[in-house]
Amino acid sequence: MAIKYVAEPFRIKMVEPIKMLSREEREEKIKKVHYNLFYLEGKDVYIDLLTDSGTNAMSSNQWSALMLGDEAYAGASSYFRLVDAAKDIFAYDYIQPVHQGRAAEKVLFPVLLTKGKFAISNMFFDTTRAHVELAGGRCIDCVVPEAKIPSKRAPFKGNMDVALLEKTILEKGPENVGIVVMTITNNSAGGQPVSMKNMREVAEICKKYHILLDIDAARYAENAYFIKRDEAGYQNKSIKEIVREFFGYADTFTMSAKKDTIVNMGGLIGVRKEDPDLILKIKAACISYEGFYTYGGLNGRDLETLAVGLYEGLNEDFLKYRIGQVEYLASRLDDAGIEYQSPAGGHGVFVDAAKMFPQIPYYEFPGQTLGVELYREAGIRTSEIGSYMLGNDPDTGKQLHADFEFSRLAIPRRVYTQAHMDVIADALIEIKKRAASIKRGYKITWEPPILRHFQAHLEPIK
Ligand SMILES: *Cc1c(COP(=O)(O)O)cnc(C)c1O
């Protein structure tokens, strides 16, 4: 039986109408966009689970803070309010606002990585990987092996494989490893958390070999909630205390504030210990790419909403509801025997499309097939995380075979209700009933040279 839904710790003050098109209309729309969900217009989507990034609902406090935005080019009071909030939470000496997570990567990574250096992570997120590579570095993932087995219910499946990390450092030579990046929660592995113990062990290794440790911190609050709930010794600590301890093990962080900080746009860079040379370089890169370092590509009003959101994201009642909502949806799938990356992660449910359609091979894209079916069934938009997204081998041009074939149901924060979760679960149950009758997947009829999944054209195979 599905678990009990954790009631919303807020009430609704403003609404945005949404509408489900008829099945015929949906059929027509999806065909017109070449079966690529990124081309759909937002108004044609009933429940939009494409991402939880920048799709969150701000609170009445954030909307009122927006009016306090100081739009001074340099030294705006909004900048100081944001820096005070971030220093209070993370206890870092230097805080740099930027316009989003990839901007933090673009500013910081070239400062830390020189050409030919390796960067090691539990798992790189795609933009993070891209910015390591643009800086001339090469990426290595060292996630624990259980992360790659969706049906295996293990706690802290986002962890770094510590033995593999040390082995990799020794193999490449510590002097050739420019940076270690701990991604929390581990987005690409299904929003799986990283334990405090794991972070502590990774920090010890980085210290031993004098390698800088960076946190890719988009979902730091969800990660802290999992530690409080599931890791021995943390039950009586506040979320803020857990965040402080976790960040205390790293040297820097890069953050997309479009996730746990519950704003629609924003990002941060943090440097833990005053380091004049590093900070000077960050400011210089920020001025070139983002804008003067006291606004970092954001409006004064954005800095204000970010300052408020930093605290709201840490609220325990909110996190209990947030993680509870995702778990409720997952438990409805358990009841129906629908497999997903389990246990459910922080920001969504990653449905195992290879299990739903065992007859469809990876090169016919089971995750994309399920995504199209979800739109047909109930106007739901998801994203594919699998071979379709992974693309072709750059050397041979052959389709790569991904570790997973997921349709990701990413849940925006404070946006959808329990009834919406039921619509999603019911749609998946209907699709499972007719799954065996869907014999073939999709083929690509046109694709751009890079990041093809955003723009490719597809066609069902007859
Ligand atoms: C979203 C995300 C990023 C990139 O942030 P943007 O704000 O989308 O540029 C980097 N790392 C992780 C883990 C993310 O989830």
Which residue CA neighbors atom 14 of ligand 1 most closely?
A: 218
101 and 242 share one domain: yes
Task: Give every CB contact of residue 1 below 8 A, 6+ residues apart in sequence.
Answer: 331, 335
- Over range 12-37, report the average pLDDT: 97
Please tell me if the CB atom of residue 253 comes closer than 6 angstroms to any atom of ligand 1.
no
Cβ 415 vs Cβ 58: under 8 Å = no
312, 335, 353: which is the final residue of a domain? 312
Q: Taking 80 as the threshold, does the pLDDT of residue 450 lie above it?
A: no
Residue 2 Cα to ligand 1 middle (Å): 31
9 belongs to a structural domain: no
283, 312, 341: which is the final residue of a domain? 312
107 belongs to a structural domain: yes
Q: So what's the pLDDT on residue 319?
A: 98
326 and 445 share one domain: yes
281, 312, 343: which is the final residue of a domain? 312
Q: What does the alpha-carbon distance between residue 389 and residue 453 come to, in Å, rounded to a whole number?
A: 5
Q: Read off the pLDDT band of 418 (50, 70, 90).
A: very high
- Over range 114-136, report the average pLDDT: 92
Domain with 374, as residue range(s), is: 23-52+315-460
11 belongs to a structural domain: no
**What's 391's domain CATH number?**
3.90.1150.10
SS3 state at 81: helix
Q: So what's the pLDDT on residue 397?
A: 87
Q: Read off the pLDDT band of 106 (50, 70, 90).
A: very high
Q: So what's the pLDDT on residue 324?
A: 98
Active site residues per annotation = 73, 125-126, 216, 218, 259, 453
More confident residue, 114 or 166: 166
Please tell me if the CB atom of residue 102 comes closer than 6 angstroms to any atom of ligand 1.
yes
288 and 236 share one domain: yes
Ligand 1: atom nearest CA of 187 is 13
Q: What is the mean pLDDT of the chain?
A: 96
Ligand 1: atom nearest CA of 267 is 7
Q: What does the alpha-carbon distance between residue 426 and residue 420 come to, in Å, rounded to a whole number?
A: 10
Please tell me if the CB atom of residue 127 comes closer than 6 angstroms to any atom of ligand 1.
yes
Helical spans, DSSP H, in 336-417: 353-356, 366-378, 387-390
**What's 234's domain CATH number?**
3.40.640.10
Strand pairing class (348-352; 406-410)? antiparallel
Q: pLDDT (tens digit, 9 = 90+) per residue, 300-341?
A: 999 999 999 999 999 999 999 999 999 999 999 999 999 999
Element (H, E) at 458: strand 457-460
Q: What does the alpha-carbon distance between residue 255 and residue 221 come to, in Å, rounded to a whole number?
A: 12
Q: So what's the pLDDT on residue 121?
A: 98
Which residue CA neighbors atom 8 of ligand 1 most closely?
A: 101
Q: Read off the pLDDT band of 443 (50, 70, 90).
A: very high
Q: Taking 90 as the threshold, does the pLDDT of residue 1 lie above it?
A: no
163 and 290 share one domain: yes
Please tell me if the CB atom of residue 254 comes closer than 6 angstroms to any atom of ligand 1.
no
Q: Taking 90 as the threshold, does the pLDDT of residue 82 lie above it?
A: yes
Q: Which of 59-68, 314-323, 350-359, 392-401 has the lowest average pLDDT? A: 392-401
101 and 245 share one domain: yes
- Over range 419-434, report the average pLDDT: 98
* Side-chain-side CA neighbours of residue 354 (13 Å): 17
Please tell me if the CB atom of residue 432 comes closer than 6 angstroms to any atom of ligand 1.
no
Domain tally for the chain? 2
- Over range 446-460, report the average pLDDT: 91
Q: So what's the pLDDT on residue 392?
A: 87
Please tell me if the CB atom of residue 223 comes closer than 6 angstroms to any atom of ligand 1.
no
Which residue CA neighbors atom 4 of ligand 1 most closely?
A: 101
Q: pLDDT (tens digit, 9 = 90+) per residue, 143-176?
A: 999 999 999 999 999 999 999 999 999 999 999 9
Residue 147 Cα to ligand 1 middle (Å): 20
Q: Read off the pLDDT band of 393 (50, 70, 90).
A: confident
Residue carrying the six token digits 């929390």: 184
> Is the model's pTM score more than 0.85?
yes
Q: Taking 90 as the threshold, does the pLDDT of residue 126 lie above it?
A: no
By CB atoms closer than 10 A (0-12, 13-18, 19+), residue 71 is: exposed
